[in-house]
Amino acid sequence: MIKKGTRFYTPDTLSELKEIIYKEQEVKLLAGGTSLFRKINGDTLVLPGVIILLENIPELTKENRTERYFEFGSMITIQNIIDNCKRNFAPVLIDALEKNAPFPVRNISTIGAAIANNDIKSDLLPLFYVFNVKVEVINLRDKKIKARWESLTQYLSTQDNRGLHLITRVRIPLINPAYYQYFKTGFKYNLFNEISFAAIADLEKGNISSLSMAFNINNKKIIRTKDIDAELIGKHIPIGLKSREALIQTFNDNLNRIEGLEDYQKFQMIQIILHFLEAF
Amino acid sequence: MLPLDYATKKSYKILIYRSTIKYGKILKIEIPPLPENYKVITYKDLPGRNFIKLEEYKIPVLAKDKVHYIGEPILLLVGPKIAELKLLYKQINVIYENIEISEPEIFYTKSVNIGTSEVVKDVIENYKSLTGYINTPSWNIDSKFPHGSFSKRDSDMLTNYVSTIWTSKLTENIQAITEYDEKKINIVSPVITGEYEHSLLENFTSAIFTSLAANILKKNVLFAPTSEDHFLYSSQIYGLSFLWKINFNDSNIIQNIEINIKMDCGAYPIFVEEKALRIIHGITSFYKHRNIKITVTAYRSFNPPSGISEDLYQSDALFFSEILNNKIIAESGADQLKWRLDNLLKKGYKNSSNSVIRREIPLYDMLKNIGILSDFSRKNSSIKLSNNRKSSIIHHSIKRGIGISVGYSGNNNISNKKDFSSSSITIQLEKNNKVDVYGNFLISNLEIYNEWMSVIISILDVKEDDITFFSTNEYNTPNFESKNINIITPLIKQCCEDIKSRRFKDPLPLKSIKSVRRKPGNVWDPEKWKGSPYKTSSFAACAVEVEIDKRKLIPIIKEIWLEVEVGKILNKNSILKTLNRDINRTIKWLMESKPHMENGKWDRNDFYNRTFIYAKPVIHIYINESIKGKTSAKGIGTLVRNTLPSAFIQGVSQALSAKINSFPVSRDKICMELKKDEV
Amino acid sequence: MKFNIDLNGKEYEVDVPSNLRLSQLLGMVMTRKSVKHNCGTGRCGYCLVLIDNTPIYSCLYPAYRAQGKKIITLEAILQKSEYSNIIKGFELANVDLCPNCAPARILLTYHQLEKNRELTGEMIENIIDTITCDCTDVSSLKEALYLAANFYKGDFD
């Protein structure tokens, strides 16, 4: 009798990976594995039938640096990025990466999985959004290996009906914004039931010329506040006390349109934006 | 080393089959055919009685025909491989019949009138009265050493590795349940500190489970509780709910206070009287109010049994008493600090049990000191001012608050139960000037050993090398009274003085036996509420500065000032360490939300993703050596827990400028209060 | 499922269910007392081990994945002089860690000191935050780590 249990594969190349996927029906790609374990916890793990470990594929651990951007293979760990790019990246990015998890977790969690994981949306996603991060995606059920660069917005909006796919590379632009903030509620490293927020802005004579903000609510939902962004362009930073009330009103109107937000979450979000605009 | 570290690779494991319903009858248990070496133990397999006996309380080992809470053990699955056991677990089927939950069963009430009882009647027409309720947070008994047990069979001996210090009681229980020869039961407690006997019930049950299985299967057996066992099904301390009413007379002076307290004891209550008395004493201990009528009602519920902790609700009581003071202060518009200083009990006043206080209580000085150190008055008034200026255009993204409180920690068993307070010391002075000390104490650290040595040397004038301690290394009681310091030291002193007085009258060897006994003049009588209940008390005062970030909606402690009075200092470092650690734990108690149940099932997600509290406040600790330096050392006990929470809550309510009645304070609640404040 | 793992320099063959975590394999199956499977979600840190010389929480790691990797637990360094040096530092600071967190804390300290003998404040914060056990307060832990670093170098001996 064949023992029932999970089968593990560790392919060495991308084409090997494709072969395995061609043979097997239900597979789960495992990069770092931290989120899998956090989700299916309890004392006995309920693992899917086939798990493919990606760590041996050399294409996924390459790093490429240019003047305008850095490209990371999706299997590069977060800690690796912190160690290697501390000098090159904007401090806000490093700060966010460090706040992501305690370092034994950072040692195994990978940048690709932080984006691809749909069950627990990473705290880092708002930041990647505002930094306009790009990802290279391969559709694994296709016969040919065809990689495509996509923006994060594009990727996340089509993630659910994409089928089995693999992020091979992540491109982080080297921008140094004039004005930025990354904020996470709760105590250090807390993951669930918290809000994370990222914003970058360019200023011209103290007035906002471009602005991009994003929220992650409870690691379940990413909210981009485009309407609020548009509303705020041209405003002076720090905002005056007189315009405060009117702003709160517009924020409220905008946030009320979004479904599934608790009252206190809206309050928190408004306070976070105000805090950002008040230039503390 | 932990108890489980002694386990061998081949020892058998235990998996507990737990009840999945709250309250119901067990109609049928279907057990699948078992493989070799595997066994399912039901209540029928118990050789002896089917309950654990603590004092007069009985807790069933395995459920017989009824279950009373979710997680009550019904079956024990024993076998060499845990994976196989888990498979078996899935095949077992228990059919229940739900019983409708009716009114909770009340089994203990205690009512006490403090002060002249005649006035408490509603003869006087009330000018004004205030009422309200307060719920204290419940908590998991978090032991430093996880419960778990390993039972080893060596020829005839049954050795149990488990962390407990109340070994005599455990042996007695194991003997009665397994009918094993008492002389052949051996209990080894690898970690002896004497400080952490919080999870008494868990340790007892796991030791009983393993010894039972070891006895039935004739194998070495270990039981390693999972984190779910630990957090969901183990005994807890449930919060109290206080209902209070203050009546004022026409000149706005407090006429009387009525307090009704409800205590949830879980499915199987233990040490209820002790808890109730501690609550009553805690509330009425050191403020001047009199004419208080307190009623404690303990009821059974369908939750895991309520356990014991070091303070046994003393901290809840003190917490409540300070919050009540806060309400009275807010009503009268007095200054926080000044009101407290004016209303503290002092030497010459009568205490709650109507006896005159003969010694100076250091609380007044300590409170004053903390007030100065923390700059309380200035901060308090400035926060008040800024809170009053709500309409102003200044926007605060952070709200601040500050609170101050006093507390004490009493060391004794207040219910006068025989089971608890039996400890005795025997000292013998031999002909060659050697001194032997016998007794049931634990030498857990060097400081206490040195202290005892110095006591003996100073009184009997003997050499250090001549003194020998013979410890039975066990307590006859659970440890919630810092026994080493508070009980044993005075006993040693008494013995030595006894011997000294007879030294040159009677021939050697001289023997003196002293055990805990109270002086006849000062007998504590919980029925009549007379006498002084605690042997010694240590005191503390505390101020806390709290901050609430509007973006985070969590109250965060910025700074803590704590002054403690502990008598003679034995080891300053260890006091500081203990206090620091207690502060962390107390903050957790106040802020950690508990996993909640819905439709009889724990929310697993909720359980595994509890928030992690990383509070790192700035802590200032001042240790106050006794006033005259004459008092011997006292235990720190639960001083932090008894003082810090009330100061913290005062800070939070000041920051929110709102009344807070139940804990932990949720984000929803904070948000609601802050919204009122928004421009 | 059968596979080989390299634990503390020795090769072992194990036969365990495929859905086992590394912490369970090391702690329960192979009875290494320094690895404690507790929370199972990477919160407590009691299950910390070194895999290929990087500290990880072994409860977040499938046992099978450790195949072909070098696992180091506290048992491997017990005989080394560095271990007793670290312990000396902890003892001098009067820090008495509880049996739960002690193995992980000492192993992590050892790892950090092995990598970098000058402990920065940031590293110390890292070590403290990685294992959340409230048996010891932060300030005495910091002191202990500084002392451990000093002894490690042999300055005080």
Prediction ipTM score = 0.86
Q: Which of A188, A245, A278 sits opposite B679 (nearest CB)?
A: A245
Please, are residues C82 and C113 in contact by the beta-carbon 8 Å criterion? yes
Superfamily of domain C81-152: [2Fe-2S]-binding domain (1.10.150.120)
Residue B479: pLDDT band by 50, 70, 90 thresholds? low
Q: Which residues of B touch C101 (CB under 8 A)?
A: none
- Taking alpha carbons only, the member of A134, A123, A182, A179 closest to residue A156 is A134
DSSP bridge pairs for B547: B400, B556
Nearest-angstrom CA–CA distance, B455 and B461:
10
pLDDT per residue as tens digits for the range B211-254: 999 988 888 998 888 777 777 777 778 888 999 988 887 777 78
Residue A151, class by beta-carbon neighbours within 10 Å (0-12 exposed, 13-18 middle, 19+ buried)? middle
Is B49 within 8 Å of B215 (Cβ atoms)?
Answer: no
Sequential DSSP letters for A20-59: HHHH-SSEEEESS-HHHHHHS-SSS----SEEEE-TT-GG
- B573, C39: Cβ pair inside 8 Å? no
| DSSP conformation class of B183 | G
**CA A101, chain centre distance (Å):** 13
Q: With pLDDT > 70 as the criterion, what percentage of chain B qualifies?
A: 83
Cβ atoms of A264 and B669 within 8 Å: the answer is no
Q: In angstroms, rounded to a whole number, what is the distance separating the alpha carbons of residues B149 and B129?
A: 54
Whole-number Å distance between alpha carbons of B667 and B551:
11
Specify the DSSP class assigned to residue C65. G
Burial class (CB in 10 A: 0-12, 13-18, 19+), B43: middle
Nearest C-alpha in C relative to B587: C134
Strands B236-237 and B66-67: unpaired
Burial class (CB in 10 A: 0-12, 13-18, 19+), B502: middle
pLDDT in tens, chain C (157 residues): 888 999 998 999 988 887 788 888 898 788 888 888 877 777 788 889 999 999 999 888 888 888 888 999 999 988 888 888 888 888 888 887 877 888 999 999 999 988 887 888 888 888 888 888 777 888 888 889 988 888 876 655 4
Confirm or reject contact between C89 and chain A (CB < 8 A). Answer: no
Residues contacting residue A226 through CB under 8 Å, at least 6 positions apart: none
Look at the alpha carbons of B312, B314, B317, B319 in this order and tell me if their dihedral is positive or negative: negative
Chain centroid to CA B251: how far? 40
Q: Which residue has the higher pLDDT, A28 or B29?
A: B29
Distance CA B678, CA B392 (A): 10
Grouping H, G, I as helix, E, B as strand and the rest as coil, residue B215 is helix
Contacts of C59 in chain B (CB under 8 A): none
In chain B, residues with a C-beta closer than 8 Å to the C-beta of A262 are: 668
Contacts by C22-29 with C-beta closer than 8 Å and gap 24+?
C22/C47, C22/C49, C22/C58, C22/C59, C22/C61, C22/C62, C22/C63, C22/C65, C22/C66, C22/C71, C23/C47, C23/C57, C23/C58, C23/C59, C23/C61, C24/C59, C24/C63, C25/C63, C25/C66, C26/C58, C26/C71, C26/C73, C28/B82, C28/B224
Q: C45 CA to chain B: closest CA distance, Å? A: 13
DSSP state of B46: -
What is the overall mean pLDDT for chain B?
A: 80
Distances (CA, A) of B648 to B137, B261, B305, B654: 13, 22, 29, 10
What is the average per-residue pLDDT within B644-673?
A: 86
Sheet hosting strand B157-161, strand order edge to edge: B39-41, B73-79, B12-18, B221-223, B149-154, B157-161, B185-188
Q: What tokens were used for A61?
A: 């651990």
Say whether residue C48 is in contact with chain A using an 8 A CB cutoff: yes
Higher pLDDT: B33 or B490? It is: B33
**Gap between the Cα atoms of B85 and B79, Å rounded:** 7
For chain C, the helix, strand and coil percentages under 3-state DSSP, each to the nearest 5: 45, 15, 40
User: Which amino acid does the sequence have at B347?
Assistant: K
Q: How confident is the model at residue B610 (pLDDT cuts 50, 70, 90)?
A: low
The residues, any chain, with a CB within 8 Å of residue B528's CB and separated by 6 or more, are none
pLDDT bin (cut points 50, 70, 90) of residue B563 is: very high
pLDDT at B123: 47
3-class DSSP assignment, residue B171:
helix
Q: Helices (H) and strands (E) in chain B — how many of each?
A: 16, 29
How many Å apart are CA B257 and CA B95, to the nearest integer?
A: 50
Q: Which amino acid is at A132?
A: N
Residue B119 in this model has a pLDDT that exceeds 50: no
- Side-chain-side CA neighbours of residue B148 (13 Å): 24
* Residues lower than pLDDT 50 in chain A: 1-3
Contact (Cβ atoms closer than 8 angstroms) between residue B624 and residue B565: yes
Whether the predicted pLDDT of B545 surpasses 80? yes
Does B117 have pLDDT greater than 50? no
* Chain B contacts to C (CB-CB under 8 A): 1-2, 5, 7, 9, 82-83, 144-146, 191, 224, 227, 573-574, 576-577, 580-581, 583-585, 588, 608-609, 612, 614, 616, 619
Spatial separation of the C-alpha atoms in residues A146 and A137, rounded to whole Å: 8
Beta bridge partners of B25: B66, B97
Determine the pLDDT at residue A269: 93
Q: What 8-state DSSP symbol labels residue B360?
A: P
pLDDT digits (tens, 9 = 90+) for B346-370: 887 877 777 777 777 888 888 999 9
Neighbours of chain B (3+ CB pairs under 8 A): A, C
Q: What is the pLDDT of residue A126?
A: 92
Helix (H/G/I), strand (E/B), else coil: B512: strand
Q: Per DSSP, what are the bridge partners of residue B185?
A: B158
Taking the domains of chain C in order of start, what are their residue ranges?
A: 2-73, 81-152
Q: Which of B635, B482, B574, B636 is nearest to C96 (CA)?
A: B574
- Residues in Cβ contact with B57 at an 8 Å cutoff, skipping those fewer than 6 apart: B268, B269, B270, B271, B272
Q: Residues 5..24 of C with a Cβ closer than 8 Å to A: which?
A: 17-21
Q: Homologous superfamily of C2-73 in CATH?
A: Beta-grasp domain (3.10.20.30)
Strand blocks (E) in B301-419: 398-411
**Cβ contact B441:B484 at 8 Å:** yes
Per-residue pLDDT band at B209 (split at 50, 70, 90): very high
Report the candidate in A102, B607, A51 with the shortest Cα–Cα distance to residue C57. Answer: A102
- What local confidence, expressed as pLDDT, does residue B194 receive? 46
Mean pLDDT of B89-102: 88
- pLDDT at residue B327, rounded to an integer: 86
Q: Which of B81, B394, B551 to mutate to test the interface with A (most CBs of A within 10 A)?
A: B551
Burial (0-12, 13-18, 19+ Cβ within 10 Å), B467: middle
Beta carbons of B134 and B320 less than 8 angstroms apart: yes
Chains A and C form CB pairs within 8 A to the count of: 77
User: Which phi and psi (to 5°) does residue A89 adopt?
Assistant: -85, 155
Residue in B86, B393, B675 closest to A44 by CB: B86
For residue A94, give how far its alpha carbon lies from the nearest alpha carbon of chain B (Å): 21
Distances (CA, A) of B256 to B246, B249, B341, B356: 6, 9, 21, 21
Question: Which other chains touch chain A, taking contact as 3+ CB pairs less than 8 Å apart?
Answer: B, C
Cβ burial of B95 (10 Å; 0-12, 13-18, 19+) is exposed
Alpha carbon distance A167, A163 (integer Å): 12
The nearest CA of chain C is from the CA of B625 a distance in Å of 21
Instruction: From chain B, pick out residues whose CB is under 8 angstroms from the CB of C98.
Output: 144-145
Q: Is A153 on the interface with C (CB under 8 A)?
A: no
pLDDT of B481 higher than 60: no
Please tell me which residue, B33 or B450, carries the higher pLDDT value: B33
Nearest to C138 among B83, B224, B616 (CB): B616
Exposure of A27 in the CB half-sphere (CA atoms within 13 A):
25
Distance CA C67, CA C85 (A): 32
pLDDT digits (tens, 9 = 90+) for B128-179: 788 888 888 887 766 555 668 899 888 788 898 888 777 788 888 999 998 8
- Nearest alpha carbon to residue B367 among B327, B411, B334, B322: B322
User: Looking at the partner chain, which of C19, C20, C42 has a beta carbon nearest the beta carbon of A34?
Assistant: C42
Report the half-sphere exposure of A179 (CA within 13 A, side-chain side).
22
pLDDT tens digits, one per residue of B261-288 = 999 888 888 888 888 988 888 888 778 7
- Higher per-residue pLDDT: B414 or C103: C103
> What pLDDT, on the 0 to 100 scale, is given for residue B26?
92
A80 → chain C, closest CA residue: C54
For tokens 């260890």, what's the residue? B574
CB distance B678–A189 less than 8 Å?
no
Q: Which two tokens stand for residue A22?
A: 């061609």
The type of residue at A267 is: F
Cβ <8 Å between A245 and B613: no
